[in-house]
Structure 1
Amino acid sequence: MPRKRRRRSGGGSRRKFLLVLGSAATVIGLGGENIATGAFSSVNAQRTGNFSVASADNAMVGVVGQGTVKKNSREPMVKFENNRPAALDITVSLDTCSDGTLYDNDGESGCSVTFNVMSGNEQYVDIDAAVTGTIPYSVSISGSNFSLDTSGSVDAESGNVKGVVRIKKPTKDNEFSARRNKDEWETKVFVEDNDGDGDLDRIELEVTEGESGGTVVASKTITLGGTFDYKNNKETIQPDDSKYNVAKGQLYTLTVTAYDADGNFSTATVQDTA
């Protein structure tokens, strides 16, 4: 069953394209059939007939870029539209396989995917980007008396993917304590990398007076530099000011934020009254 598509929001704009001539978007007709152009960097199209300019609304073959994608998250990369009277065979390939994994609606995945789009239908190709920055790829389209080879790119950025970084402790108030006798705070910390690449980067601990957002009285960064998990049942946090005294009856809030190298993070908040 075809994968249900979702609407994208945010800054990535939708652009119809197949060919690029300089920087101007145009439409080239191959005989009586037109191809929408716009954001691809090179092209080699073949069909018997004369080339002519036409309106983009009349394009018989279209590609709709889906905008910026997030690293380590399967996102729509490009949509193919077949408005021709015959089926099209389409192959999309990453220039560098280590840049990520491609997926089509038919369940195929890998560095390259090949699929068939019937007349009047459309097909998406998703990407799970493994890097950030510009990811180049190539496209080859063929059909009855028609062929097209072109190339394009998609921009991938770091972003938070829910569940990739998991804070298992502290999640309960009794896992954090304000220790008046030692003027310090103690907590249990247990963080896991949940996507299997072992790239936990750091854990930041911040203690505030009152609710979260109050005056910061203590902070600590645990540098990990790439690991699958971190566990300490007696993590101590010293005041930023060595003269600070943990006050009786004062509510303290601990905010724990854990990050991985891909920009994913998770946050937990617990409280204790001294």
Structure 2
Amino acid sequence: MSGICAGRVVVVTGAGRGLGRAHALAFAAEGARVVVNDLGVGLDGTPDADSPAARVADEIRAAGGHAVAHAADIATAAGAASLVTAALETYGRLDTLVNNAGFLRDRMLVNLDEEDWDAVVRVHLKGHFLPLRHAAAHWRAEAKAGRAPAARIVNTASGAGLLGSLGQGNYSAAKAGIVALTLVAAAELARYGVQVNAIAPAARTRMTERTFATTMAAPATGFDAMAPENVSPLVVWLGSAASDGVTGRVFEAEAGRITVMEGWRPGPTADRGARWTPSEAGERARKLLAEAEPPGPVYGT
């Protein structure tokens, strides 16, 4: 197959359904050989008898592409290591890692159990860190051996991690952590030829089907604005060699819209060159807030 990812080997986690499946199919359509990872759990992360990874891999092969299924838990060190090993043993190389796996356990904070906090932070944040770490170790070794890669990592954040979302304190915190992880990884791994970016997608998946109903499609044009396939073109480009020079960035992707998100940066400031009293600090803080841009609203408010 020809395409902007021809010859590249791409790993996609959580690729059995929704966004991950759309990404895997889109990479394959652009010539990539794809490792399709999915543990096959339910929406809340509990065991499921289904094997979506194998189904998606079969779908790619039926269309003339190359894919292999991987069903290990990437939030464990062994599972994440085996993900990299699967790419190397099957296709002899690894070029792109797309971290996408996740699930929800939504509760208001006063009702959020420690187990639900740990489970969501584990799959989203740890499930990004461990595959990233093992892939980065491989690429560092390649670079030190004189085989500098054109490697790419695409992480999956969320608007909830940028603005917060009511009833999703665990998910919002994990996604915010993914943004910070992306920035650190981009800075640390650049010397090895690795670019790291993140997307904050909005699409209809199992996790968002209550929010983005099928009725949001535009019948006049046939364009389904909330289809997960709308997000994948940006992910494929970020995962390709064509994105050379783009790293440490966060993009929102929804329907036909792409937005470069601009993170925390200094706003109005005051420096008296000495210690403030509490009253003085409060008075000046109010003046600075009056000059500052208001924050975006938390989702659900």
* TM, length-normalised to structure 2: 0.21
Larger Rg: 1
Higher RCO by CA contacts (8 Å cutoff, separation 6 or greater):
2
Higher helix content, 1 or 2: 2
Higher strand content, 1 or 2: 1
